[in-house]
């Protein structure tokens, strides 16, 4: 034991943080294997129960099914000689491989169930804008894209995804993929991009794709989760989260420009801004120095902003966790992620580096207990119903590191678009995506609560805080 302690003490802060994360992942996997064993095929092709977080999203969708609140979308600019038929066939093969994208949701004997269809016809629409005047073409494309991503889905009939291919010029295209969140998440999109790259390349080269068949499907996971999260395991997770969140009033009192509506409309707007690579690298260096990840540093800076805006010291922020610690889940398409909660006490007299240590501790604990679905946590907290705001937390933090499975199509240049579907699930969301040139950032907010200039001010304030933190991470928060 003494030798182990000596070896740990010799690690750099970055190495120690990495070691701790690896230990957490291994212990999480081992606990699952000791508990109810690995996730196996469900043994039938009939209707299945939804996963817990899927069920919560289905319930939320029913409140306003005409809105695109839970549409997940991506717009990809493509330059070069696109083989349209190969792209269509590659997407059809992905749908064949993954049951989640052939799933519809129906009421059976009073219970919502997911039903896997034997096959679906992919809604594929092509729009030709090559005849539109060059000066008007971009505006016309944005109109087509905006209309597409805002169209709602019919959950009972499906399908749960759509593709629109916009032809902008002889060698310029825009692929718009819209999927309902019930059957996808961010990791699922990464899997799709990896498989699409492989399948498209094989089709255009006349070769054979080498993708292995999925080990399990999403419905297998949903049925396993229903059995696993019972008894002692469920009580262990609930005990941790109840203890972690004890005493919070779960209300973030952000100042608003307008009175809060009695019922959330889920209308939303995004304000986009950037953090250059130089600033991002200095933040990463700060994290390494303090034994924290980039996620932790940026989240701590966001909590400082929220503290400064609302004056509260008990700051509760939601963040999505991939929830894929089990090896069987590595290549499963579907809604696997869950919303986790990072609660931190923020005081103006606290130094930023000390706050960062608190955020690090809270994040490590949340990571180790991420298998509790947010749906079950919300029910266990017994919060009063409030249709004017989200339960548990009203501020969300989303951080996407550089994608390790980017879309790569032979002979084509790929560029991702930033889109705004006009919806907002929370009072304020900070979204951050790592790019080669730095951080692509946005604040998503409700226009029922804030004016655009107010949120632009939030963005400038956050960037100013980042600059001050970089210059003096040991400064008290009140002086930043």
pLDDT digits (tens, 9 = 90+) for 383-440: 998 999 999 999 999 998 876 677 889 999 998 886 677 889 999 999 999 988 899 9
pLDDT value for 13 = 43
Give pLDDT tens digits for 106-134.
Answer: 999 999 999 999 999 888 999 999 999 99
Residue 40, pLDDT above cutoff 50: yes
Q: How far apart are CA 127 and CA 147, in angstroms?
A: 13
Calculate mean pLDDT across residues 89-94.
Answer: 96
Residue 136, pLDDT above cutoff 50: yes
76, β-bridge pairs: 175, 416
CA atoms within 13 A on the CB side of 327: 8
Q: What percent of the chain has pLDDT over 90?
A: 80
Give pLDDT tens digits for 42-61.
Answer: 989 899 999 999 999 999 99
pLDDT value for 23 = 45
Q: DSSP string of 432-451?
A: EEEETTEEEEEEEE-TTT--
pLDDT value for 27 = 43
Q: Cis omega before residue 159 (within 30°)? A: yes
Is CATH 3.30.559.10 the right assignment for the domain spanning 48-205? yes
Answer with the residue of higher pLDDT: 393 or 266.
Answer: 393
Strand ordering across the sheet containing 124-128: 124-128, 161-169, 172-180, 71-79, 413-416
Residue 36: DSSP 8-state = T
Q: According to CATH, where is 3.30.559.30 located in the chain? A: 235-479
Fold of the CATH domain 235-479? Chloramphenicol Acetyltransferase (3.30.559)
Average pLDDT of the residues of the chain: 90
**Which has the closest alpha carbon to 408: 181, 114, 80?**
80
Calculate mean pLDDT across residues 454-469.
Answer: 96
User: In the numeric block, which tokens belong to residue 195?
Assistant: 């498989």
Q: How far apart are CA 244 and CA 230, in angstroms?
A: 20
pLDDT value for 403 = 64
Give pLDDT tens digits for 162-201.
Answer: 999 999 999 999 999 999 999 999 899 999 999 999 999 9
pTM above threshold 0.75:
yes
DSSP H helical segments within 211-293, as ranges?
Answer: 218-228, 231-245, 277-290
Give pLDDT tens digits for 326-361.
Answer: 889 999 999 999 999 999 999 999 999 999 999 999
What phi, psi does 45 have (nearest 5°)? Answer: -115, 10
**Which has the closest alpha carbon to 94: 161, 166, 16?**
161
pLDDT value for 74 = 86
Q: What percent of the chain has pLDDT over 70?
A: 91
Three-state DSSP class for residue 127:
strand
Q: According to CATH, where is 3.30.559.10 located in the chain? A: 48-205
Give pLDDT tens digits for 240-262.
Answer: 999 999 999 999 999 999 999 99
% helix / strand / coil in the chain, to the nearest 5? 45, 20, 35
Residue 322, pLDDT above cutoff 50: yes
CA atoms within 13 A on the CB side of 338: 23
CB 411 within 8 A of CB 80: yes
**Which has the closest alpha carbon to 303: 261, 240, 357, 260?**
357
């Amino acid at each position: 034991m003494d030798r182990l302690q000596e070896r740990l003490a010799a690690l750099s802060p970055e190495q120690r943080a990495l070691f701790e994360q690896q230990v957490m992942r291994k212990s999480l996997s081992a606990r699952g294997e000791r508990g109810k064993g690995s996730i196996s095929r469900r043994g039938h092709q009939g209707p299945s129960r939804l996963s817990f977080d899927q069920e919560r999203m289905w319930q939320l969708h029913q409140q306003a099914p005409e809105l695109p609140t839970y549409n997940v979308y991506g717009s990809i600019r493509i330059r070069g000689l696109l083989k349209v038929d190969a792209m269509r066939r590659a997407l059809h093969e992905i749908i064949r491989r993954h049951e989640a994208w052939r799933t519809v949701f129906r009421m059976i004997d009073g219970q919502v169930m997911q039903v896997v269809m034997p096959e679906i016809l992919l809604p594929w629409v092509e729009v030709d804008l090559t005849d539109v005047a060059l000066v008007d073409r971009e505006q016309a494309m944005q109109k087509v894209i905006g209309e597409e991503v805002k169209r709602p889905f019919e959950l009972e009939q499906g399908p749960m995804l759509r593709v629109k291919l916009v032809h902008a010029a002889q060698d310029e295209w825009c692929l718009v993929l819209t999927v309902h969140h019930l059957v996808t998440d961010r990791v699922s999109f990464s899997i799709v991009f990896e498989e699409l790259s492989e399948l498209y390349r094989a089709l255009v080269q006349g070769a054979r794709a080498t993708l292995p068949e999925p080990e399990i499907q999403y419905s297998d996971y949903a049925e396993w989760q229903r059995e696993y999260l019972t008894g002692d395991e469920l009580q262990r997770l609930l005990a941790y989260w109840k203890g972690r969140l004890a005493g919070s009033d779960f209300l973030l009192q952000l100042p608003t420009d307008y009175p809060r509506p009695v019922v959330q409309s889920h209308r939303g707007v995004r304000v986009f801004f950037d953090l250059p690579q130089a600033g991002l690298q200095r933040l990463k260096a700060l994290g390494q120095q303090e034994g924290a990840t980039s996620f932790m540093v940026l989240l701590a800076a966001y909590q400082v902003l929220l503290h400064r805006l609302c004056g509260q010291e008990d700051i509760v922020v939601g963040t999505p966790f991939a929830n894929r610690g089990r090896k069987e889940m590595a290549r499963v398409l579907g809604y696997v992620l869950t919303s986790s909660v990072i609660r931190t006490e923020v005081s103006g007299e606290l130094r930023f580096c000390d706050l960062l240590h608190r955020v690090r501790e809270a994040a490590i604990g949340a990571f180790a207990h991420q298998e509790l679905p947010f749906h079950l946590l919300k029910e266990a907290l017994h919060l009063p119903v409030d249709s004017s705001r989200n339960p548990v937390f009203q501020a969300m933090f989303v951080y996407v590191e550089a994608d390790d499975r980017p879309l790569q199509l032979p002979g084509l240049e790929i560029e991702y678009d930033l889109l705004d579907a006009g919806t907002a699930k929370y009072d304020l969301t900070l979204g951050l995506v790592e790019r080669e040139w730095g951080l692509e950032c946005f604040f998503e907010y409700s226009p029922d609560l804030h004016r655009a200039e107010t949120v632009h001010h939030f963005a400038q304030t956050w960037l100013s805080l980042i600059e001050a933190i970089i210059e003096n991470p040991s400064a008290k928060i009140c002086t930043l």
